[in-house]
Amino acid sequence: MSNDNFNEIIKRSLHIREKYHQLETRGNGSEWTLEEDALAYLTDAGLVGRNVMSHQKTWLKKDSAEELEHKLAENIWWLIVLADRTGVDIKEALNTFLTKTENIFQ
């Protein structure tokens, strides 16, 4: 994935989050807090686990390939949102992580 593509994914992700903030304000009178966003992410991360178990046939559920794909992507979206809300440059953080981890195996 090129840097331009990742920039576009980040931009689209934050735009969608803004739309959700508008829905939250209309429905609840305020936007979700950072903590509420983090809890929503953790809920979706747990659902990834269940969907992987279903994929491996260790959790009894209908075929979850589409749901697994959706939840994996949604988790990436949440991480982009959480990085933005906490002031973390996700591109730089990911690059640093990958470099440090690659260096372990050299």
Distance in Å from the first CA to the final CA of the chain: 24
d(CA 49, CA 39): 15
Place of tokens 């979706």: 44
d(CA 67, CA 75): 12
Sequence ranges of the domains in the chain: 3-104
Enter the tokens of residue 10: 């980040």
d(CA 47, CA 89): 26
Domain spanning 3-104: CATH 1.10.287: yes
Q: pLDDT value at position 56? A: 86
* Tens digit of each residue's pLDDT (9 = 90 or more) over 9-68: 999 999 999 999 999 999 999 999 999 999 999 999 999 999 999 888 887 766 678 899
